[in-house]
A and B are shown apart, each in its own frame.
Chain A
C-alpha cells in the first residue's frame, strides 16, 4: 500500500457538488434577479452563466481529484494535493487517533466511504487533519488495520522502522455490540427533542413568507364560519398541522439516527448511525474525559436521558461533533449496565451532598427578579392581555425550586460527580485525574449567606468543558478544594452506591 494512490473517480462529482452547494445562494440570486419577460438573448444570460459555472465546477473537480494523491510511507500517512500550490501533509500513525467513516448517498451504491482522519487534539489540529473523500471500503479497512497495527507495534517499544508493509496480518480485533437503538426510542427522541417545534416554526414562517398568495380575508371569513360552526373543525386543523410537524421531525430523526449502534472494538468505542448517509465515529477509550447525562424537562418524567462523551482531541472542524452522543435516548437505568461495560472504573451511582436550605431563596430570587423585568414592560404595553405574563412568576419560582432540588455534588476517592440544572437536568461524571482545574467563586451577596459557586473544568476537544453548581455551602466548597488538592489530607467525601442488583444483572 506504499504506492501513490488516487481517490475513487466519483470524487470529481462530489467535489463539483460541494462547490455547487457553496455557490448555491449566489446562483439562486442570479436566477431570480432576472424574472422579467424574456425579450432578448441577454435575458437568458443567467442560465448561460449557470451552465458555464457547472461545467467549470466539474472541471475543477476533475483537476482536484487528479492532483490528490495519498500513500503510506515510513509510518506516516502522506497526502499531496493542489494544482499551483502543492500541499503536502504527512501525518505520523501515532498521531492518528481514529478514522471516522461516512457513507453518503453517492458512496453507498459504489461501496465507498469517506474517511476523516482524526488526530490528537491540539490548538493547531486544524492543520493536522485530513479527509479522503471517497475510497473503497476494503481500502479503508486495510488502512485502518495498518495504522492500528503500526500503533500497537510502536507501543510495544519496537524500534524497528515500520514501512507500512501490508504483509503484517493482524488478527481481527474483538468486536462487541453494546447497544442498538430501538425504533420506539427513536420515536420518543423525535417527539421530545423539540424538533417538532422547530418544524412547526418552519411551517409558520413558510406560511408568513407566502402570505401574499394566501387570501387571508377569505380565509378569515371562513375561519369565522368555522368558529360559528364550532371549534371542532379548528381543533382538527390544529391537530393536523401538529401531526405533520411531528411526522417530519420523526422522519428527520430517522434519517440521522436510524441503525444507531454502539460497539466496543478492542479499546475503541465505535458508533454507527444514519439511514441515507451512514456515519461511523470512533472514540478511543483513553481519550474520554468525562460523561454527561442530559435530561430535558420533557424526558425527565419518563426516565429518559441522553448520554454524551466529553473527549479530548477529535475534529474541531466538524461542528456537530462538539459532544459525541453515546446513547442519544435511553432509560437511565438501562444506561448504567452499558456504561459499566465500557467504563467499569466509573461509579454511576453515588451519594450526593445538596446545597443548604439558605440557598433556596437565592435560586428563586434572581429568577423572579428577572421575570419581573419581562413582566413589567409587557404588562404595561399590552394591557390587559399582557397581564398573562404574570404566570412567569410561579414558573420562575418553580424552576428555581427545581434547580435547588437538583443541585448536588459528590466526591469519591477518584471521581467528582456534579448534578445541576439550567432547564434540563445535567449529571457530569469526571475522574479526578481528568479535571484540569477546580475553582470556587463568591459574589458579595453569596459571601453574606456563606455560600459559594463551584466550578470544574475538563478538557473537551480543543478547549474545555465547564460545569458549575451555584450556592454550595462555603464549607463544602472548601472541603471540595481539599479533596482536589494533591497535597491535602481529604481523600474522599462520599462513598459510591452500588447499583441495584437487578439493574446490574440486566
Chain B
C-alpha cells in the first residue's frame, strides 16, 4: 500500500511548548471562570454557572494540555528529500502535502519568545502560491534545514 509516511518527527520539546500554550490559555479561562463565579455568588445566580465554569476549565486542561498536544505531536511528520518536501499533520483532519524543491521560492525560520526559551524555531517554506510550516524544530536542525532547502531549491524561473 502506497507511500511511506514521512520519517522525521519534530522536536520532543514541541510537546512541552504546546502544553505550555495550553496552560496559558487555561489561565485565561480560569480568570473568566473566577469572574463568573464571583458574579454568581454576588448576584445569587444558579449554582450551575459555577459548575459550568469549573467544568469548562477542567475540560480545557484535559483537552489542550494533555490530549491534543500529544496527538498533534504524534501525527506531525516531515521529510526533506533531495527533490521534494513531504509533510503530514492534523488530528481530526490529516493533511499530507508534497512540495517539489523546484517550486520552493524561499525558506524562513522564526522564533517567538517561548520558542526561543526552548531553543526551538518554526520553519516556513514558501512557493509562489502557498506557504507551508513545520512548527517547533530544534533551532540547529531548523537552521540546517533552512540552509539545505534553500541550496536545493532552484526555482525554474520560467515555470512560476
Of B39-47, B100-108, B134-142, the segment with at least 4 beta carbons within 8 Å of chain A is B100-108
With A437-B130, A443-B92, A487-B81 as contacts: A481 and B160 at CB distance below 8 Å: no
Q: Do A439 and B95 touch (CB < 8 A)?
A: yes
Chain B CB within 8 A of A482 CB: yes
Q: Do A436 and B83 touch (CB < 8 A)?
A: no
In the bound complex, CA of A312 to CA of B160 (Å)? 7
Chain B CB within 8 A of A191 CB: no
Give every chain B residue within 8 A of A487 (Cβ-Cβ): 81-84
Q: Do B129 and A438 touch (CB < 8 A)?
A: no
Chain A CB within 8 A of B116 CB: no
Instruction: Indicate which residue in B96, B97, B158 contacts A286 across the interface (CB closer than 8 Å).
Output: B158
Which residue of B is nearest A474, CB measured?
Answer: B2
Q: Do A486 and B129 touch (CB < 8 A)?
A: no
Rounded to whole Å, the gap between the CB of B158 and the closest CB of chain A is 7
In the bound complex, CA of A482 to CA of B159 (Å)? 21
In the bound complex, CA of A478 to CA of B96 (Å)? 10
In the bound complex, CA of A464 to CA of B132 (Å)? 13
Instruction: Indicate which residue in B3, B92, B101, B128 contacts A436 across the interface (CB closer than 8 Å).
Output: B128
Which residue of A is nearest B125, CB measured?
Answer: A437
Give every chain A residue within 8 A of B84 (Cβ-Cβ): 485-487
Of A53-61, A67-75, A383-391, A452-460, the segment with at least 4 beta carbons within 8 Å of chain B is A452-460
CB neighbors of A among B65-108 (8 A): 81-84, 90, 92-103
In the bound complex, CA of A338 to CA of B158 (Å)? 24
In the bound complex, CA of A479 to CA of B1 (Å)? 10
Q: Scan B125-160; emit 1 where CB is below 8 A from any A CB, else 0.
A: 001111010000000000000000000000010111
Give every chain A residue within 8 A of B98 (Cβ-Cβ): 437-439, 481, 484-485
Q: Do B127 and A439 touch (CB < 8 A)?
A: no
Interface size class of B (residues with CB under 8 A): 20 to 34
Give every chain A residue within 8 A of B90 (Cβ-Cβ): 441
CB neighbors of A among B4-22 (8 A): none
Chain B CB within 8 A of A148 CB: no
In the bound complex, CA of A443 to CA of B95 (Å)? 9
Q: Do A441 and B2 touch (CB < 8 A)?
A: no
Chain B CB within 8 A of A88 CB: no
In the bound complex, CA of A474 to CA of B2 (Å)? 9
Rounded to whole Å, the gap between the CB of B154 and the closest CB of chain A is 12
Q: Do A434 and B159 touch (CB < 8 A)?
A: yes
Give every chain A residue within 8 A of B102 (Cβ-Cβ): 433, 486
Q: Do B130 and A475 touch (CB < 8 A)?
A: no
Q: Do B93 and A441 touch (CB < 8 A)?
A: yes
Chain B CB within 8 A of A353 CB: no
Q: Do A486 and B96 touch (CB < 8 A)?
A: no
Rounded to whole Å, the gap between the CB of B126 and the closest CB of chain A is 10
Q: Do A486 and B3 touch (CB < 8 A)?
A: no
Give every chain B residue within 8 A of A444 (Cβ-Cβ): 92-93
Rounded to whole Å, the gap between the CB of A292 and the closest CB of chain B is 15
In the bound complex, CA of A444 to CA of B93 (Å)? 7
Q: Do A482 and B93 touch (CB < 8 A)?
A: no
Which residue of B is nearest A440, CB measured?
Answer: B96
Rounded to whole Å, the gap between the CB of B152 and the closest CB of chain A is 11
Rounded to whole Å, the gap between the CB of B5 and the closest CB of chain A is 11
Which residue of A is nearest B127, CB measured?
Answer: A436
Chain B CB within 8 A of A465 CB: yes
In the bound complex, CA of A73 to CA of B2 (Å)? 58
Instruction: Indicate which residue in B1, B95, B97 contacts A475 across the interface (CB closer than 8 Å).
Output: B1
Rounded to whole Å, the gap between the CB of B100 and the closest CB of chain A is 5
Rounded to whole Å, the gap between the CB of B155 and the closest CB of chain A is 11
Which residue of B is nearest A484, CB measured?
Answer: B98
Give every chain A residue within 8 A of B156 (Cβ-Cβ): 433
Give every chain B residue within 8 A of A443 (Cβ-Cβ): 92-94
Which residue of B is nearest A487, CB measured?
Answer: B83
Give every chain A residue within 8 A of B92 (Cβ-Cβ): 443-444
Chain B CB within 8 A of A34 CB: no
In the bound complex, CA of A482 to CA of B98 (Å)? 10
Instruction: Indicate which residue in A434, A447, A458, A484 contacts B94 across the interface (CB closer than 8 Å).
Output: A447
Give every chain A residue within 8 A of B159 (Cβ-Cβ): 433-434
Chain B CB within 8 A of A442 CB: yes
Chain B CB within 8 A of A166 CB: no
Rounded to whole Å, the gap between the CB of A290 and the closest CB of chain B is 11
Q: Do B1 and A464 touch (CB < 8 A)?
A: no
Which residue of A is nearest B100, CB measured?
Answer: A486
Q: Do B129 and A459 touch (CB < 8 A)?
A: yes
Q: Scan B32-76; emit 1 where CB is below 8 A from any A CB, else 0.
A: 000000000000000000000000000000000000000000000
Q: Scan A149-184; emit 1 where CB is below 8 A from any B CB, else 0.
A: 000000000000000000000000000000000000
Q: Do B160 and A437 touch (CB < 8 A)?
A: no
Give every chain A residue within 8 A of B97 (Cβ-Cβ): 437-439
Give every chain A residue within 8 A of B128 (Cβ-Cβ): 312, 436, 459, 464
Give every chain B residue within 8 A of A488 (Cβ-Cβ): 3
Chain B CB within 8 A of A144 CB: no
Instruction: Indicate which residue in B94, B127, B129 contacts A460 across the interface (CB closer than 8 Å).
Output: B129
Rounded to whole Å, the gap between the CB of A371 and the closest CB of chain B is 23
Rounded to whole Å, the gap between the CB of A331 and the closest CB of chain B is 32
Q: Scan A424-448; emit 1 where CB is below 8 A from any B CB, else 0.
A: 0000000001111111111110010
- 18 more CB-based (< 8 A) A-B contacts, given A436-B103, A441-B93, A485-B83: A286-B158, A435-B103, A436-B127, A437-B98, A439-B95, A439-B96, A439-B97, A441-B96, A443-B93, A457-B129, A458-B129, A465-B129, A475-B2, A478-B2, A481-B96, A484-B100, A486-B83, A486-B100
A-B interface, 8 closest residue pairs, ranked by CB to CB distance from nearest: A464-B129, A478-B2, A486-B83, A439-B97, A459-B129, A436-B127, A459-B128, A436-B129
Can you list 25 contacts pairing A with B, beta carbon distance less than 8 Å? A433-B156, A433-B159, A434-B159, A436-B99, A436-B129, A437-B130, A437-B132, A439-B95, A439-B96, A447-B94, A457-B130, A463-B129, A464-B128, A478-B2, A481-B2, A481-B3, A481-B96, A481-B98, A485-B83, A486-B84, A486-B100, A486-B102, A487-B83, A487-B84, A488-B3
